[in-house]
A and B are shown apart, each in its own frame.
Chain A
Amino acid sequence: MPLPKPHGGRLVNRTLSCERREAAEKEAKELPRLKLREELLSDLRNIAHGIYSPLEGFLCQDDFENVLFEKRLADDTPWTIPIILDISHEERERLELQEGDALTLCDGSGREIALMHVESIYSYNKEEFAEKVFLTTDKAHPGVAKVYELGELLLGGEIEMFGEVEPPFSRFYLRPVETRVLFKERGWRTVAGFQTRNVPHLGHEYVQKTALTFVDGIFINPVIGKKKSGDFKDEVILAAYETLLCNYYLKENAVMSILPMEMRYAGPREAIHHAIIRKNFGCTHFIVGRDHAGVGSYYSPYAAQEIFSEFPDLGIVPVFFKSFFYCRKCMTVVNEKICPHGEEFRISFSGTEIREMLLRGEVPPPEIMRPEVAEVVRRWENPFVS
């Protein structure tokens, strides 16, 4: 079984070769300039490095509308999260921007990073966007709140990146072209991708190791970047996983690298997005647990699993897990499918409870978290995003 082809059939590379780079840098100096926020820079890098293959740029209007209404690009390729570049009317006027123009994209410090060929400038309905992607227009939802903060116009078009946008924690950053070589070198023919934005508890380990019993390797791929208040800080997640991998995994069948990307908390749609990204990294399987990419109670617990039935052509196999817990009678981590004992024996892996325990200065019990991992997390006075 070969590693899957990238989504859309081809791994996109929108970084310029040395020869083209010099000319592009010169061209960039003459063009109007647009500074990108941190999360847009992540999207830009993800497009350029093929993490978002087959996208070659920010979505043009026809793709954007198709993604919103059909959960597919205009050519019918599955795609569920709009990857967009927003701009205000004032910015557009300042830049005197028209369709067909080229634009220089810069980082927060004004350094030139990429060229964009603006093919499409369009307005959109924010309420419709929120309703379709997040299934709610409630501004208390962090993803919806973000939509309402966006500029009124969207720019679509291909990008060409010539400057390196160094991601944070770059020693853990691998591009799809690198993970594919890595998996091949390790002799992995089947790889399960694991998405996370949490420090690992025993439930996560149980899921990963269960998947590992039928695939060659596990690819742990924490999302690094802007998150909501109360989520674990990126550095805590990485330190915790390093410790877990070092103490409890075989080096030859587990790999961790980061995915610099903003969490959208779009539940089911984001689960598909996460699966597509892992397919591009070379995964054959993708683990989807309870309330994947959810927030609050906006999505039913297994909506993120059910949505996969709409995508028989996704090209990566989803692996679904039910809710898991520690059973004092079984004396191990189990799920409702395999444990016959009553609720009174269960210790749940509630993120809220673990968070409260840590904030009170308590050590989560070993039935919930490996002592080495708990110790690492407790090194931070406040391990959470405020």
Chain B
Amino acid sequence: MGEEKEKKFKTITIPASLFKKIEERIKGTEFTSVASYVTYVLREVVEEEEEEVPFSEEDEEKVKERLKALGYLD
């Protein structure tokens, strides 16, 4: 798996002081490594910035109509 892992993951560098701070921060949390914490934070940031495919008002109206027809909305 070692070689495989190298294909799927890339190394980046961060300042040692930041690394130390993160190490402190994850103590007592469920994150087992600085890498897993940094991946989580970066993923959140990237997803936040990614544009969702817009859900048009027309689409939303169609959904509401179905929800009404099924009795989920009044």
Contact = CB atoms under 8 A, between A and B. Distances in A.
> Do chains A and B interact in one complex?
yes
A18 to B, nearest CB: 13
B55 A177 contact: yes
A76 B63 contact: no
Interface string B13-53: 00000000000000001110000100110010011101011
Query: Interface size for chain B: under 10, 10 to 19, 20 to 34, or 35 or more residues?
Result: 20 to 34
Given A69-B1, A74-B8, A182-B67, A313 B72 contact: no
A255 B40 contact: no
A178 B67 contact: yes
Nearest to A256: B72
Interface residues of A, number: 26
A309 B64 CA distance: 37
A164 to B, nearest CB: 13
Nearest to A311: B30
B55 A185 contact: no
Contact of B63 (A62, A74, A178, A257): A178
A178 B66 contact: yes
A31 B9 CA distance: 37
A296 interface: no
Interface of A: 5, 8-11, 13, 62, 66, 69, 74-76, 171, 174, 177-178, 181-182, 185, 255, 257, 309-313
8 contacts: A5-B47, A11-B52, A62-B8, A174-B67, A181-B60, A181-B67, A182-B72, A313-B40
Interface of B: 1, 8-9, 29-31, 36, 39-40, 43, 46-48, 50, 52-53, 55, 60, 63-64, 66-67, 70, 72-73
| Shortest 7 CB-CB contacts between residues of A and residues of B | A9-B47, A312-B30, A313-B40, A181-B63, A309-B30, A312-B31, A178-B63
